Structure 1
Amino acid sequence: MRDASGFIAALDQSGGSTPKALRLYGIDEGAWSSDAQMFDLVHAMRTRIMTAPAFDGDRILGAILFEDTMERQMAGQGTAHYLWAVKRVVPFLKVDKGLAEVEQGVQLMKPMPGLGELLARARDAGVFGTKMRSFIREANAEGIQAVVDQQFAIAREIAAAGLVPIIEPEVDIHCPHKAAAEGQLKRCLLAALDDLDDSIHVMLKLTLPEEEGLHTECVAHPRVLRVVALSGGYSRDEANARLRRQPGVVASFSRALTEGLSVHQSEAEFSALLDASIQSIYEASLT
């Protein structure tokens, strides 16, 4: 995870974002009548992606899973075990329970009851690390500090459970003062990283910033295993272009990865488009 080339595939759409993911894949909401059916459909989509020949460890470092996906099987094996044993792709698990209401220009994470038990199950399933997302809407210094404080407090708990946390304080790409928010966030992150014990390593998942090379200090920090970038609503072409301006940062794309994939495509069409998408994101991650 520290040294190999490649990027992280974000395949962790949860209950709230699953309908949109399925709609973009060509499946309208009328295709299911219960959450169980909806999750069956999205698992079939994820299975099609992860079992495709193009999806392997030569270009993909890791994959972030939703809890429901971790609990299911893929090709007759637990999903996390399949990813590493068959594809040589490192499995991560989304552990947050969604976002709280907006306060001080940000959305903190909702409480995570049962986190300890979830981390134990993830570790037993062969998961390497976790991911948790906060959301920054405005360049509000107090709000951004609260986001970082919450993220690092939970990251310490995750590290104590033997997993590597991905800290994701996403800055809204429509933030009215996006560059200012990103600068404030960087200062808070570096201070929090300096306070970590030497035994703890984390990963950072950050919005593609306005300033070229903004995250260079984070990439070089001894407590940081890897810095990855989310696509945040940018198209794949725009996300790749922005990523090339961030040396040492690799992609962790969701919508930009699956852009253009459809349930209605033949296997040949699906595989060709997925392969091209993976290759373009891989090349953008080599900077």
Structure 2
Amino acid sequence: MSKQQQFELVKNGKGFIAALDQSGGSTPKALALYGVPEDSYSGEDEMYDLIHKMRTRVMTAPAFNSDSILGAILFEQTMDREVEGQYTPDYLWEQKGVVPFLKVDKGLADLEDGVQLMKPMPELDALLQRATERNIFGTKMRSVIKEANPEGIRKVVKQQFEVGKQIIGAGLMPIIEPEVDIHSSDKEEIERILKEEILKQLETLPENEPVMLKLTIPTVNNFYKELIDHPKVLRVVALSGGYTRNEANEKLAANNGLIASFSRGLSEGVSASQTDDEFNEAIADSIKTIYEASIT
């Protein structure tokens, strides 16, 4: 596996990044949308078996390949599980040509200063070591911004970049994700402060050690162009953030160079009760529309 090949694909490839990283908190919701209600399984083990089945179905679908998909973000458990007899990251890269990423955050802290920082990650070094052994290319971690509080936003971005540097130090590519709540009444103002803070933090990165950014689609079209063009940013991807797939695609298409990294948007319209043909068709349709919105 060539890290350089993966780097080039993520930097220059046409397509998007699939987010398959629902964690313990968001898995019941993801399963319910897929048509598996909470009362049909008991305990975490059964729940994780079911979500792995769903993810396997997505990853093994014929349309899930490097023609449209550059990378996939995995949940920690998924990294240690197998798809068709291979560890998931190896399956993705060797069979599908899709670059594997890993979600590394441990969830969000309580709301303070209008933001939710990431919870402490004392075991991050050990996890990064395991990720390297599992042939993971990069990582993703999420914070949330709900209010235009300059101090809170500064803290979020600072924390993200501090952890990002730790990840770079372990030889992996960090995706920095300071999500802006799409329901925030001052979303546009948050984005203005956020962009400034990100630009400041990018200056602290050494040459030739870029990061990726995962951002909420901005209120003003092409507002993040400066970040997309920045020499220290490998790629800027967008989250669907609670928009329907159609809404998210429409907004995304209006932002040149911004590509999708959708989770809910990707699996919208698929269900456990579908036959494999129906499921594969639904996923193919989903992938096609997200791909088209990503290549504008």
What TM-score comes out, normalization by structure 1 length?
0.99
The structural deviation recorded for 1:194 is: 1.6
Q: Distance in 2 between matches of 1:286 and 1:58?
A: 12
Q: Does 1:269 align with 2:272?
A: no
Q: Distance in 2 between matches of 1:208 and 1:259?
A: 18
Q: Distance in 1 between matches of 2:162 and 2:152?
A: 15
Q: Does 1:205 align with 2:214?
A: yes
Aligned partner letter, 1:128: F
Q: Does 1:132 align with 2:133?
A: no
SS at match of 2:249: helix
Aligned partner letter, 1:71: D
Q: Distance in 1 between matches of 2:105 and 2:52?
A: 19
Structure 1 runs (4+) greater than 2 angstroms displaced: none
The structural deviation recorded for 1:199 is: 3.0
Aligned partner letter, 1:283: E
Please list, as runs of the form range in 1=range in 2, the aligned pairs for 1:1-287 lying within 5 A after superposition. 1-287=10-296
Q: Distance in 2 between matches of 1:92 and 1:179?
A: 29
- State the identity %: 59
Aligned Cα RMSD in Å? 0.5
> Which consecutive unaligned segments of at least 5 residues does structure 2 have?
1-9
Q: Distance in 2 between matches of 1:194 and 1:93?
A: 25
Q: Distance in 1 between matches of 2:244 and 2:252?
A: 12
The structural deviation recorded for 1:245 is: 1.4
What TM-score comes out, normalization by structure 2 length?
0.96
Give the number of equivalent residue pairs. 287
The structural deviation recorded for 1:244 is: 1.1
The structural deviation recorded for 1:47 is: 0.2
Q: Distance in 1 between matches of 2:63 and 2:171?
A: 30
Aligned partner letter, 1:165: P
Cα deviation digits, residues 159-182 of structure 1 (max 9, x gap): 000000000000000011000001
Aligned partner letter, 1:53: P
